[in-house]
Amino acid sequence: MSYFSKNLKFIREQKKLSQNKLAELANVNQTTIARWENEEISPSLDNIYDLANSLNISIADLTGKDLTTEDQQFDELEILFNKNKDILTDDDKEMIRFMIEKRRKEIDKQLGEE
């Protein structure tokens, strides 16, 4: 079973992208995005590759599992790690997590003071 259509819409909405904006990023038209999301047509392998790159997600995640279920919650950081698994060490991943958490705390503090 392919989860492509369901995942495409879910990820696009998670990233707050319109169909028009995603179409622009993936070099297709908005109608094509809509038809993919509605399972009216299937994308080519090149289209899947372009979409995955545009959405910063692996092709396997885009097509191979349901990202909309609670136990498969969409996690952009894990997707980043998976896409770069050949170059990131565990120490690199921990450092990235630390930096992101530190930045989140700084932003929360700034927002709380305003």
Per the structure, the complete domain to which residue 30 belongs is given by: 4-69
Q: 33: burial class by Cβ within 10 Å (0-12, 13-18, 19+)?
A: buried
**Per-residue pLDDT tens digits for 15-74:** 889 999 999 999 999 999 999 999 999 999 999 999 999 998 889 889 988 888 755 445
Instruction: Note the pLDDT of residue 34.
Output: 97
Instruction: Tell me which residue of 23, 21, 26 sits closest to 54, measured CA to CA.
Output: 26
Q: Find the mean pLDDT for residues 5-14.
A: 92
pLDDT score recorded for residue 113: 58
How far is the C-alpha of 85 from the C-alpha of 22, rounded, in Å? 25
| CATH number of domain containing 9 | 1.10.260.40
Is the residue at 50 inside a domain?
yes
Domain membership of residue 17 (yes or no) is yes
C-beta of residue 62 within 8 angstroms of C-beta of residue 10: no
pLDDT tens digit string along 78-113? 767 777 778 888 888 888 888 888 887 888 787 775
Query: Does 12 reside within a domain?
Result: yes
Contact indicator for 19, 26 with CB cutoff of 8 Å: no
Residue 113 counted as domain residue: no
Helix axes 30-37, 19-26, angle to 10 degrees: 110
pLDDT at 45: 94
What type of residue sits at position 39?
A: E
Count up the domains in the chain and report the number: 1
For residues 2 and 4, the model is more confident at 4
- Residue 31 has, within 13 A of its CA and on its CB side, a CA count of 0
**Residue 75 confidence (pLDDT):** 64
